[in-house]
Amino acid sequence: MRHIKFIITLCLFNIFILHSNNSYRGENAWLNYRFVEDSVLRNDYKTIIGKIFLSENKFGDVIKSELKISLIKLLGLEVYFTNNVEEAGLCIYIDKNVKCLRKEGFLIKSNDKKIILQSFSDEGLLYGVFYLIRKIQCHNSLKNLNLIEIPQIDLRMLNHWDDIDGNIERGYAGKSLWKWTELPEKIDKKYYDYARLNASIGINGVVLNNVNADPRFLRDDYLMKISALAEIFRKYNIRIYITANFASPIKPSKTPDEMKAWGGIGDLDTADPGNENVQIWWKKKIEEIYRLIPDFGGFLIKANSEGMPGPQDYNCSHADGANMLARLLKPYGGFILWRTFVYNKNVDNDRMKRSYKEFKPLDGQFEDNVILQTKNGPLDFQVIEPPQPLFGAMKHTNMAAELQITQEYTGHSTYLVYLLPLWKWFLRFDTYCEGKGSTISKILKGNLYGRNITAIAGVANTGSSVNWTEHHFAQANWFAYGKLAWNPDVLENSVTIEWIKCTWSNDIYCVETIKNMMCSTWKSFINASSPYGLGLTMDIPTHYRADFNIRANKEWQVDNIGIGNDRSDKGSNFVSQYYEPNSLIFNEIVTCPEDLLLSFHYVEWNYIMKSGNTLKDDFFYKLKSGIFQVKRNIYLWKSLEKYIDYVRYEDVLNSLICEKHDATRFYCDAVSFFYSRINMIDINQINKF
C-alpha cells in the first residue's frame, strides 16, 4: 500500500514539474530548483542530507525554509531536522573558535557520510547553506569537500535608481519594486523573493532610491515605509541605505517637481555643511532613522554633479560635505558613500580628467567611514573605457567601485550582453600604484593599503518584470555581480557555468551552447558601438543605440583623415593621471592596447593595425559584429528548443529577433554616417542584411 502511495506521489510530482515547466516565466531566476533526474546522484544526496542538525541562529527560519523548498524540489526530500548531531548527515553550526572565517565566511568539510558547515557567526551559516544548495543544483558531489569561503569585500551593495513615483532611472525591467503608496501597511511577497535572491549570492546592502535623490525619502512618512522594508531585508542579512539629497535641510520648494534640485524637507535656508543648524538638523534626522532602523547602513550621496546640490554650493569641498555627515553617522556604525562621478566643465576641457582633478587633492582628508564610490571608468559606464585613474591614486581613502548592472549603454533589455568579462577586465587592470601587481581587485579588497572597510556597488537591473530583469539573460549580470562582489577574483568560467546550470539546465550541450552565446557578447557590443574604445557614442537621451552622428566632433574627433581622441602628452595629457608604465604605454600609438586606442589617440584611417589591415578596414568590419553575434545566437538558441521550457524559450527568441532588427538598423545608420558626413566609404559597401 505504502509502495503504491509512493508511486502515485511521484507521478503527481512529475506532472507538476512538467506542467510548471511549461508555464515557468523565470521568476525564480537562479533559484530555479529543478528535480535531479539522475537517481544515483539523487540518492547520494539524499542519504547524506536526509537528517539535518541546525544550531540556533538568527537566520534559522530563513535557512530552514530554504532547505525545505530546495530539497523537496531538487530531491523530492522532506527535510528532517534533528537535535542529535551524531545522527545528522548535515551539521550546520556556529563555532566561536573559527574566528578566521570573520563575520560572513564559512567552511565546509565532508566525507562519504557527513557534511559539516561551520561559521564564526550567524551570517556565515546563511551564505553557506545557499552555497551547498547551489552545489546540488549544479549536480556537484557533496563528498570529500574541504573548503573555506570568506567574502573579500565587506559591503556588497546594489544601488537602485528608483524614484518616488515608481519609475526607475535607466531601468528597463518595468516599474520599481518598492510600492511606496502601499508601504508600510501592505507587504508585497516580492520583497522577500528579492531579498532571498540577493542573499543567495552574498549581497548584503541595498540602496533603495535614485542617486538623483528626492529629499522626500528622508521624510518621517517615508522612513516608516523604508523601515518596513528594512525589517524584511534584515532577515536576509541585508542592510538598507538611502540616497540623501544634500540640500534636505532646506525648506521645501513650492512645486514638488522642483524638489530634486532646489528644495528640501527642512526649515532652513541653507545646507552649508559648516553651519551649526544644518549639522543639528542632520543629527536629529540620523537619530530618527536609527530609532526606526537600528542597522541602517548610511547614505549614498551624489553631490555637485549633474545639477545635484552639494558642499561646493557653499564654497566647501567634497571632503567637508562628506565628513560632516560621516561624523554624525559614526557612533551608529553608519557609512557615507560619496560619489566621485563629477565632470564640471570648468575643471578641465577633457571630461576624462575632471573627477581625478577634483578628488586627488582631497586624498587623506576623508573620515574613515567615508567611502568614495567611483564608477569603473572616467566617462560614464561605457561598454569599454579606460579604468578610472583614481583607483590607485587615492592611497589614504576608502574606495568602492561602482559598476552598472542595468544596461544603460549596453543595449537595455533588448540586447543579450553579458557584462562579467567587462568587470573582470577592469578588476584585473594593473594600476602599478605600488609596483607591478597593484590590480584594482587588490585595491578594492583593501589588500594594498590595508583599509578597514571595503565596498562595491552595482546599479541594479531589477524591476517589476515577472523575471525581474525583463531579458532572461540579464539575470546573469545580477548573479555575476553578486559573485564578483563576494570575490573579485572569482573565475569567469565558473560563474557563468554555475549561472547556466542553476537557471537553465545541467545538460552538457545546453551549458556549452549558452556559454558560447554569452561569452563574446561584450566584445561584439564594443565592436558594433564603440570600436577601439572610441568613447561616448550612444544617442541622447536614451543611450540605447550608437549615434555617431550626434557625438561626432563633440566627444571625439572624426574627419576623412582619422578618428579618435588625443589624450597623449601632445593632447589633453589624460595619460599623465596614470602611474608608469601605464602612462607611457597609453601615450604612444604603437604601445597603446588596441582595445583603448581611440580613447587615447586620434589615429589616421590608413594606420596599419596589428591585424595587418588599415584602421579603416578593421573599423568598418567591426561595426558589423553586432549582426554577426546575434545571428549566431539565434542559430545557437534554436538548437536548444527541446531543452528549454516553452515560455522562456520563446521570450529569448523574441528578444534575439528584436536585437537582430535593431543591430541591423544601427549598422546601416552608422555606415551611412561615415559615408555621407565624413565622405569616407562607398555607399555600395553598405551590405544588405
Which positions are annotated as active-site residues? 306, 380, 408
* 213 vs 490 by CB, closer to ligand BDP: 213
Sign of CA pseudo-dihedral 428, 456, 57, 194: negative
* 542 vs 606 by CB, closer to ligand BDP: 542
SS3 538: strand
Distance CA 20, CA 13 (A): 10
* 211 vs 528 by CB, closer to ligand BDP: 211
**Residue 237 identity:** N
Q: How far is the CB of 161 from ligand BDP (least distance, A)?
A: 7
Q: How far is the CB of 191 from ligand BDP (least distance, A)?
A: 25
Q: How far is the CB of 278 from ligand BDP (least distance, A)?
A: 24
Q: Return the C-alpha cell found at 62.
A: 530563513
Q: Return the C-alpha cell found at 86.
A: 551524531
DSSP state of 155: E
Distance CA 390, CA 375 (A): 10
In 3D space, the residue among 353, 410, 248 whose CA is nearest the CA of residue 599 turns out to be 353
Q: What residues have CB less than 8 Å from 252, skipping those under 6 apart?
A: 259, 263, 264, 265
Q: What residues have CB less than 8 Å from 168, skipping those under 6 apart?
A: 160, 161, 162, 174, 175, 176, 210, 463
* 415 vs 499 by CB, closer to ligand BDP: 415
Side-by-side strand order, sheet with 557-558: 557-558, 562-564, 602-604
Q: How far is the CB of 541 from ligand BDP (least distance, A)?
A: 8
Q: How far is the CB of 312 from ligand BDP (least distance, A)?
A: 16
Q: Return the C-alpha cell found at 156.
A: 556588497
Q: Return the C-alpha cell found at 588.
A: 604612444
Report which residue's Cβ sits closest to ligand BDP.
380
Cα 321 from chain centre: 27
* 79 vs 536 by CB, closer to ligand BDP: 536
Q: How far is the CB of 527 from ligand BDP (least distance, A)?
A: 22
Residue 174 CB neighbours (<10 A): 18
Q: Which helix H or strand E contains 515, and what residues bound it?
A: helix 508-519
In 3D space, the residue among 141, 61, 48 whose CA is nearest the CA of residue 87 turns out to be 48
Q: How far is the CB of 374 from ligand BDP (least distance, A)?
A: 11
Cβ-based burial of 614 (10 A; exposed 0-12, middle 13-18, buried ≥19):
middle
Q: How far is the CB of 385 from ligand BDP (least distance, A)?
A: 12
* 183 vs 301 by CB, closer to ligand BDP: 301
Q: How far is the CB of 376 from ligand BDP (least distance, A)?
A: 12
Q: How far is the CB of 542 from ligand BDP (least distance, A)?
A: 10
Q: How far is the CB of 149 from ligand BDP (least distance, A)?
A: 32
Contact 53, 84 (CB under 8 A): yes
In angstroms, what CA-CA distances link 142 with 34, 64, 71, 115?
18, 19, 14, 8
Distance CA 407, CA 470 (A): 11
Distance CA 685, CA 671 (A): 8
* 376 vs 664 by CB, closer to ligand BDP: 376
Helix residue ranges per DSSP H, 235-315: 259-262, 276-292
Cis peptide before 294 (omega within 30 of 0): no
List beta partners, residue 108: 117, 147
Residues in the chain: 689
* 341 vs 468 by CB, closer to ligand BDP: 341
Q: How far is the CB of 339 from ligand BDP (least distance, A)?
A: 7
DSSP state of 117: E
SS3 598: helix
Q: What residues have CB less than 8 Å from 137, skipping those under 6 apart?
A: 30, 33, 34, 70, 74, 501, 502
b (16+ CB within 10 A) / e for 307-331: ebbbbbbbebbbbbbbbbbbbbbbe
In 3D space, the residue among 158, 155, 98, 202 whose CA is nearest the CA of residue 333 turns out to be 155
Q: Return the C-alpha cell found at 185.
A: 501597511
In 3D space, the residue among 550, 547, 545, 528 whose CA is nearest the CA of residue 662 turns out to be 545
Distance CA 320, CA 272 (A): 10
* 305 vs 583 by CB, closer to ligand BDP: 305
Which residues make up the interface to ligand BDP (CB under 6 A)? 169-170, 211-212, 302, 306, 341, 380-381, 408
Contact 480, 419 (CB under 8 A): yes
* 24 vs 381 by CB, closer to ligand BDP: 381
* 459 vs 603 by CB, closer to ligand BDP: 459
